Amino acid sequence: MIESSFLPEVVSSGGFRLFFCTDMYSFSTCWNSHRHTDGLEMLKEIRDLGFEFAELSHGIRLSLVPGIMQAVKTGVIRISSLHNFCPLPLGCNHANPNVFKFSSTNIRERDNAYKHTVKTIELADQLDAELIVLHMGEINMRNYTDKLIDLLEAGKQDSAKYQKLCQAAELKREKKKSKQCDLAYDMLERISEQSTLRGIRLGIEIRESLEEIPIDTDWDFFFQRFDNPNICYWHDIGHAQIKENLGFIHHRLHLESLSSRLAGFHLHDVQFPARDHRAPGKGMIDFEGLKHLVKPEHIKVFELSPSLKPDTAREGIAHLKSIWGED
């Protein structure tokens, strides 16, 4: 464990750790982990952007962990959250949050998903992080999302072909969802037992693909089943915008409907129809229209593309803060 004199000040709420500070902005290592061989230097770069907190994303190689521990121990930065799987499973050379799916019908894959998620929980515990962002897996069906995006890019969203494909996607996922959803939800129950023991919350992320779990029409049912405050909603603002562009949700209304379970955000922008992880202000997201749903207790994580230059990242950070506030 990290020496207590260097720990972020935390308070307990219902058995779960919460940072004593509010209005937390954080910055994801998805932007820079690939460029570093030393975790300390990786986190110093994020600190130099003006952040007291970082999220450890799903591209953290095991070799980066000693430097990360040192950065937290010496007070360089605090860790707000981790994105599963963190650290990367051995054999993975690049970020791959879906390498092991909770929903897989292959028992060995599910066992690996469980084992590596527990490792993420253990690392979060060592770093006194508050939350882990999770992907839940996918329904075993044809990939409709990419085909729909291709039609959007061709300007054919009003075509009969587009509408027919949307209807087919909805019918197919309703027909085939039961088995994969049951497997994923059973896995989440097992994982929740482990995270609850350590006082760490789990943020279930909205995904951009129509085939991923939970599907858009199931969120109410999902949170009726999982009424444990350990399990929260994680709003990836770009993924939700892509879902709106596809015509499957209304971004603001969707977020409003889940606001009571909302733990935080992944922040980035989207260039129509689905080019996400752009700097805020470089796309189409109405950040002003979502501002009223942002609360002091929410974790707000900038999750920007590794392709963005530091100056572009700074511009995006400043743009978002000019709307949502500096703190």
CA-wise closest residue to 241 among 201, 287, 197: 287
CATH class as words, domain 4-324:
alpha beta
Query: Over 70: is that where the pLDDT of 184 sits?
Result: yes
**What is the residue extent of each domain of the chain?**
4-324
Contacts for 275 with CB less than 8 Å, ≥ 6 apart: 283
Tokens representing 105 are 């019908």
CA-wise closest residue to 278 among 325, 319, 326: 319
pLDDT single digits (tens) 261-320: 999 999 999 999 999 999 999 999 999 999 999 999 999 999 999 999 999 999 999 999
Phi and psi at 130, nearest 5°, equal -90, -30
- The pTM for the full model equals 0.93
pLDDT single digits (tens) 214-258: 999 999 999 999 999 999 999 999 999 999 999 999 999 999 999
